[in-house]
């Protein structure tokens, strides 16, 4: 399953903070030893990083980066 979050008027730092908080929540949930564990991969793409940026460009970049993150992770 895939999902994407579009966040307007945010900095790289504020998005990184959100992702850190999300990771902490997932780790806390998984630490309870429930039969369901959450695993996910994430990455971000900022419109300010690309000239003539479109939503499609951002989606494609974030998707590519997410798969790179997923491949490099050991579960």
Domain boundaries, the chain: 41-75
Task: Give the residue carrying structure tokens 């479109």.
Answer: 54
pLDDT at 17: 93
pTM score of the predicted model: 0.66
Which ranges of the chain have pLDDT less than 50? none
pLDDT at 67: 79
Nearest to 45 by CA among 61, 67, 28, 21: 61
pLDDT at 31: 92
pLDDT at 25: 93
pLDDT at 2: 67
pLDDT at 44: 77
């Amino acid at each position: 399953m895939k999902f994407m979050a579009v966040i307007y008027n945010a900095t790289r730092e504020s998005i990184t903070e959100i992702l850190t908080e999300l990771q902490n929540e997932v780790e806390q949930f998984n630490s309870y030893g429930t039969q369901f564990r959450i695993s996910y991969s994430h990455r971000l793409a900022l419109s300010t990083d690309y000239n003539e940026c479109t939503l499609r460009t951002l989606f494609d970049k974030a998707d590519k980066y997410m798969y790179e993150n997923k491949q490099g992770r050991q579960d």
